[in-house]
């Protein structure tokens, strides 16, 4: 059995690239890195990699992490600028015993020395988004902190090896140096090959309050299915945040276990995810909470195309 599941419809084409790796008995590590690299390279996804939205100083600062569930090895970069594939840098850091998480200038120095591809990650399109958002927030007094989505991915390969990875440009208009949950092991991702793996997307500041990915894996370890664990962690944290703070940010989680059973949950109605297993072709689902359960619905071809058309439509300066 093998399987791979990731946050958002944007992971679909990346997973298409990874399915042959897993089908041929390749590793979950290669599958996750390949799929996330595809998302990072695609210029129209505006919150991951190339074309990612900039911080308030109009600089693209990227976060990524990688965790190997067999050895529990971890690697992460945060607030890194001008490198094409932060996920590959994070994976390479997971090979060391120490110095596994590097930030800013230190991460860039490491990546340069290791020969990772340098790239100006700020596209003309992202500059237009930035200028439009500056105008909108001035004119309409709305928050600039919206409209982001991280790619979080987990996979089990045919050897039963589990891996998790994340990559994001984080919140649009974030402060320079702001780091969200995505590179934080336990919050943005967690993998343990004896149980399963989970990854999250949403408002990093709130996801970190629940250490959600670790918590999902821990609950799976007590016997919960990935679906039950994702629902419990998402709904409990949503409730706790509302009780304690009056408001909960976006929380969405995907998970998989050693059998290739998967699950997903969100406290928003717009969440989608992409999943493929040895017995299921690569499928995109939208999902909604109904009572205390999530109801997943396979996305239609029309929905899939509209998603891409919307993201790729010409953008005009306001
Ligand atoms: N979940 C991505 C972030 O908050 O940066």
The structure tokens 């629902």 sit at 231
Tokens of 154: 């987990």
Pocket probe for ligand 1: among 49, 201, 250, 267, the residue whose CB has the most ligand atoms within 8 Å is 201
Q: Which atom of ligand 1 is nearest to the CA of 203?
A: 4
Residues 6+ apart with CB under 8 A from 26: 157
Q: Give 47 Cα–ligand 1 centroid separation in angstroms.
A: 9
Mean pLDDT of the region 131-137: 83
pLDDT digits (tens, 9 = 90+) for 258-268: 999 999 999 99
- 180 Cβ inside 6 Å of ligand 1: yes
User: Is the model's pLDDT at 100 over the cut of 60?
Assistant: yes
Confidence grade of residue 132 (pLDDT, cut at 50, 70, 90): confident
Check if 168 has its Cβ closer than 6 Å to any atom of ligand 1.
yes
The full set of domain ranges for the chain reads 3-312
Per-residue pLDDT tens over the stretch 39-64: 999 988 888 999 888 999 999 999 99
Distance CA(58)–CA(119), nearest Å, equals 16
pLDDT of residue 160: 98
Contact between 198 and 185 under an 8 Å Cβ cutoff? The reply is no
166 lines ligand 1 (CB under 6 A): no
Q: What is the 3-state secondary structure (H, E, C) of the chain?
A: CCEEEEECHHHHHHHHHHHHHHHCCCCHHHHHHHHHHHHHHCCCCCCCCCCCCCCCCCCCCEEEEEEECCCCEEEEEEEECCECCHHHHHHHHCCCCCCCEEEHHHHHHHHHHHCCCECCCCCHHHHHHHHHHHHHHHHHCCCCCCCCCCEEEEEECCCCCEEEEEEECCCCCCCCCCCCCCCCECCCEEEECCCEEEEEEECHHHHHHHCHHHHHHHHHHCCCCHHHHHHHHHHHHHHHHHHHHCCCCCEEEEEEECCCCEEEEECCCCCEEEEEECCEEEEEEEEEEECCEEEEEECCHHHHHHHHHHHHCCCCCC
Burial of 80 (0-12, 13-18, 19+ CB in 10 A): buried
pLDDT score of 217:
98
Measured torsion, CA atoms of residues 208, 209, 211, 216, in degrees rounded to the nearest 10: -120
- State which ligand 1 atom lies nearest to the alpha carbon of 170: 5
Q: Would the pTM count as exceeding 0.85?
A: yes
Residue 139: CB partners within 8 Å, gap ≥ 6?
none
Report the pLDDT value the prediction gives residue 145, as an integer from 0 to 100: 58
C-beta of residue 254 within 8 angstroms of C-beta of residue 166: no
CA dihedral of residues 49, 52, 58, 60 (deg, nearest 10): -20
Whose tokens are 């992460």? That residue is: 76
Q: For all residues of the chain together, what is the average pLDDT?
A: 95
Residues in the chain: 318
The C-alpha angle 112, 55, 180, rounded to 5 degrees, equals 80
For residue 136, the model assigns a pLDDT of 80
Percentage of the chain exceeding pLDDT 90: 84
Mean pLDDT score, 72-82: 98
Which amino acids are annotated catalytic?
150
Cα 206 to averaged position of ligand 1 atoms, centre (Å): 9
Give 65's strand partners: 76, 166
What is the pLDDT confidence band of residue 199, given thresholds at 50, 70 and 90? Answer: very high
CA of 46 to the centre of ligand 1 (A): 13
Nearest Cα to 78, choosing from 202, 187, 213, 183?
183
Confidence of residue 147 (pLDDT cuts 50, 70, 90): low
Q: Is the model more confident about 308 or about 16?
A: 16
Question: Measured from the CB, is residue 249 less than 6 Å from ligand 1?
Answer: no
Residue 167, ligand 1, Cβ within 6 A: no
Q: 3-312, what's its fold?
A: 3.60.20
Q: What token pair was written down for 100?
A: 């596994």
- Ligand 1 centroid–CA 127 distance in Å is 20
Verify whether ligand 1 is closer than 6 Å to residue 181 (CB atom): yes
The pLDDT score that the predictor gives to residue 97 is 98
- Cα dihedral 246, 252, 257, 261 sign: positive
Please tell me the number of Cα atoms within 13 Å of 41 on its side-chain side: 10
**Cβ count within 10 A of residue 235:** 18
| Report for 84-88, 133-137, 171-175, 309-313: range of highest mean pLDDT | 84-88
**Range with the poorest average pLDDT among 86-95, 132-141, 143-152, 159-168:** 143-152
């Amino acid at each position: 059995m093998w399987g791979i599941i990731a946050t958002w419809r944007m992971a679909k084409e990346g997973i298409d690239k990874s399915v042959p790796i897993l089908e041929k008995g390749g590793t979950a590590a290669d599958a996750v890195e390949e799929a996330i690299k595809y998302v990072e390279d695609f210029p129209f996804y505006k919150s991951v990699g190339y074309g990612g939205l900039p911080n308030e100083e109009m600089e693209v600062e990227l976060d990524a992490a990688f965790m190997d569930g067999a050895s529990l090895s971890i690697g992460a970069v945060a607030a890194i600028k001008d490198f094409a594939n932060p996920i590959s840098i994070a994976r390479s850091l997971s090979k060391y015993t120490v110095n596994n998480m590097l930030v800013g200038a230190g991460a860039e120095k490491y990546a340069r020395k290791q020969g990772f591809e340098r790239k100006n990650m700020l596209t003309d399109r992202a500059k237009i988004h930035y200028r439009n958002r500056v105008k909108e927030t001035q004119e309409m007094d709305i928050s600039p902190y919206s409209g982001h989505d991280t790619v979080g991915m987990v996979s089990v390969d045919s050897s039963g090896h589990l891996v998790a990875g994340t990559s994001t440009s984080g919140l649009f208009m974030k402060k320079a140096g702001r780091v969200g949950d995505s590179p934080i092991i336990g919050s943005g991702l967690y993998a343990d090959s004896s149980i399963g793996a989970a990854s999250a997307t949403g408002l990093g500041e709130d996801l970190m309050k629940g250490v959600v990915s670790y918590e999902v894996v821990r609950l799976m370890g007590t016997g919960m299915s990935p679906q039950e664990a994702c629902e419990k962690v998402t709904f409990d944290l949503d409730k706790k945040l509302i009780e304690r703070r009056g408001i909960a940010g976006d929380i969405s989680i995907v998970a998989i276990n050693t059998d290739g059973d998967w699950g997903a949950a969100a406290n928003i109605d717009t969440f989608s995810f992409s999943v493929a297993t040895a017995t299921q072709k690569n499928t995109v689902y939208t999902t909604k909470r109904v009572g205390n359960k999530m109801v997943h619905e396979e996305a239609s071809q029309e929905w899939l195309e509209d998603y891409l058309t919307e993201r790729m439509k010409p953008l005009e300066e306001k």
